[in-house]
Structure 1
Amino acid sequence: MVSPRPVAKIETEEPTTRLAVLIDADNAQASVIEGLLAEIARFGEATVRRIYGDFTAPTSASWKKVLQRHAIKPIQQFAYTTGKNATDSTLIIDAMDLLYTRKFDGFCLVTSDSDFTGLAMRLREEGLTVLGFGENKTPEAFRNACHKFVFTEVLRPDSQTESVPPSSATENAHPPIQPSTPPQATEPKPKFPKRFVVTALEQSVDDTGWANLGTFGSYLTKLQPDFDPRLYGYKKLSDLVKANTTLFAIEERTVPGSNHKALYLRAKNQAQRDDKGK
C-alpha cells in the first residue's frame, strides 16, 4: 500500500488580511491600475478583484487592455436607460453579497463617486476595514466614510518623478521635440496643513510628551482619512517629519530587546517651552 504523499505547508509570520477590490470603471482610470494594486498589497491580499461597467462602450477600451494581465474579473453592466447608472447598483449588490459570506476583512472601493458613501458606512458598521481610492474630485463625504482614502493621482507612474529644472546638466542635450498637442497642466501640490498636523501631534503624545511615529500616523488617518505624505512631495510620513525640522523635534530610540530603532517626535514649539521651563 502506497503511503499518502505529504503536503508542504507554507507558514507566514502573520495572517493575511483578505480584501475584496471593487472597481467602478465609470469613475476610475486604467492608467493607475499597477500603482493601485501595489498600494492595496500594502494593506492585505486582494482575494477578489472585480470591475463594473459597460465594456462594450468605447470609454472602457483602456480597461479591456489591462483586465486579463492583472486578473480582474469584469462584470458587464449594460445601461438600461439614459441617465441611470446601473453600474453603481450592481457593485453595491455584489458588495453586500460578499459581505454576508463573512470571508473578508475589508473592502477596497475604487471610485470617485459619492454614491458609494452609504455602502462604505454600511461596511464599517459591520466592523470591516474600508479603503477608498479615487481622484482629487472625490467628494469629502465618501472620503471621510472610509478608514483610509488614497488619491489615485499619487499612484500614477509619473507622480514619483520630479521635473528636471532647465538649469540642470542637460544643456548640451538636443532640444526636446514639441508634442503635437499641448501637455496637460500639472496640478499644484496642496498646501501643507501645518496647523492640523501639529495639533494632531500634540493630541497623540504620551505622558512624556513624545509620540511614536506609528501612533502619530494612525491618529492622523483617524482624523483625516485622506491625509497622505505623497500629496506634499514625501514618500513616507517619516520623510515628511525629518524634512520639517522647524516643526518637529525628533529622537531615535532603540526598541527594547532588538537592534531596531523607532522614531519619536513632538512639536518643536512644545519642546522649546519645556526647555525654558527647566
Structure 2
Amino acid sequence: MSANPNTQPRIALLIDADNAPADLIDEILTELSTLGVINIRRAYGNWTKSGLNGWQERLLEFAIRPMQQFDYSKRKNASDMAMTVDAMELLYTERPDAFGIVSSDADFTPLVMHLRAKGAAVYGFGAAQTPKPFVNACSRFLYLEALAEAHAEAEGDRAGLPTAAAEGKPKPDGAGAPASAPAPAAHRVRVPTSQLRQDTALMNLLRDAVHAVQDEAGWARVGEVGTQISNKASFDPRNYGYATLSKLLGAVDAFEFRDEGTSRVAVRDKRAARRGG
C-alpha cells in the first residue's frame, strides 16, 4: 500500500466485460479518477465472442488491457475466476491502495471481503439487479443506472437543457417501484421525500450517523456524517438520485441545516431540536 501521504491512492480497475456496458466506461473512469490514480486497467472476457465487439474501441481509447479468457464450460463464466486470481496476485505484488470492480455478479463478494480485510478499499459498479451481498461488501457501490443518470443530468446542465430530475418527472419504468428498492435511481430519477422516509434502513443509517458525530447541541458536520456512513456501509447518495449527501439529507426532511453553502454545513435531527437538544 502507498506509504507517502502526499501521493494519490493507486487504484486497480478490473472489469467483468461480460457483465458491464462498454458505453459507461468513461463515466466509471471519471468517477474513480476523483479517488486516485487508475494505474492498472484490465477488462476480462472471451474476446472471440461477437457480444463483446462494442468494447474494442473503448479498450483502445482508455488504455484498458484486454484479458482473454476462453469459456471452459458452456454454462460457467471463466472470466470471474480469472479476475479473482489476478486481483489476489495484484493485492500481494503491486499492492494497490484500492480496487475498482465492475460487475453485477455476487460471486465476487468473497473476493471483495478479502481485499477489504487486507486494507484495500473496493469501489463497486454494477447494474440495479446486483445482489445486495456484493453491494454491501464494497467500500462504496454505485449503480450504473445512477451513474448514467447523473452524467446525463450534468450534460443537460452544461447545455442549458431541462432534465427529468429538474422537472420532477419519473423515468418511464418508474411506476410501482418499491419503497425499499436497493437501487432507487434505477427506477426513478430522484426518489421523493415520501418514499425516502418509508425506507427504514436508510433513515436509520442517516440518523445513526448524525447521532454518532453530533456535538453537545446535536449538530453534526455533513462531512463527518459522510465519513461515519462510509465506515459502516456501502453508500452513495446518487443511488437515490441526489448528487450529494447534503441534498439527500435535505430531501428526507428529517434534519435542520446550519451554515448551508459552506464547508461547515451541519445538520441536526429535527426530533432533537424539538426536545430542546
Give the TM bin, normalised by the shorter chain: 0.7 to 0.9
Map of 2:136 onto structure 1: 144
Three-state SS of the structure 2 residue aligned to 1:79 is: coil
- What is the deviation of 1:261? 3.8
Aligned partners of 1:89 and 1:13: how far apart in 2?
34
2:152 maps to which of 158, 161, 167: 158
Map of 1:205 onto structure 2: 214
Instruction: Kindly indicate whether the alpha-carbon contact (under 8 Å) linking 2:13 and 2:38 is maintained by their aligned counterparts in 1.
Output: yes
Question: Which has the higher Rg, Structure 1 or Structure 2?
Answer: 1
Superposed, 1:112-123 pairs within 5 Å as 112-123=104-115
1:125 maps to which of 117, 124, 140: 117
Identity %: 37
Listed as ranges, the gaps of 5+ residues in structure 2 are 157-162, 175-185
Instruction: Kindly indicate whether the alpha-carbon contact (under 8 Å) linking 1:153 and 1:159 is maintained by their aligned counterparts in 2.
Output: no
Map of 1:224 onto structure 2: 233
Three-state SS of the structure 2 residue aligned to 1:107 is: strand
- What is the deviation of 1:82? 1.0
- Confirm or deny that 1:50 pairs with 2:51: no
Map of 1:249 onto structure 2: 256
More helix as a share of residues: 2
TM-score (norm 2): 0.78
- Shift in alpha-carbon separation, 1:264–1:184, aligned structure 2, 3 A: closer
- What is the deviation of 1:100? 1.0
- Shift in alpha-carbon separation, 1:261–1:215, aligned structure 2, 3 A: closer
Deviations along 1:16-48, one digit per CA (max 9) or x if unpaired, are 100100000111111211111111112111010
- What is the deviation of 1:158? 2.9
Deviations along 1:216-273, one digit per CA (max 9) or x if unpaired, are 1122233330x322233321112233455x421212299xxxxx74111111121121
- Shift in alpha-carbon separation, 1:123–1:72, aligned structure 2, 3 A: same
1:269 maps to which of 242, 247, 271: 271
Aligned partners of 2:264 and 2:25: how far apart in 1?
33
Greater displacement, 215-224 / 46-55: 215-224
Map of 1:83 onto structure 2: 75
Map of 1:235 onto structure 2: 243
Three-state SS of the structure 2 residue aligned to 1:149 is: strand
Listed as ranges, the gaps of 5+ residues in structure 1 are 1-11, 167-182, 255-259
Aligned partners of 2:153 and 2:103: how far apart in 1?
19
Deviations along 1:119-162, one digit per CA (max 9) or x if unpaired, are 11111121111111111111111111111111111221435552
- What is the deviation of 1:79? 0.8
Three-state SS of the structure 1 residue aligned to 2:258 is: strand
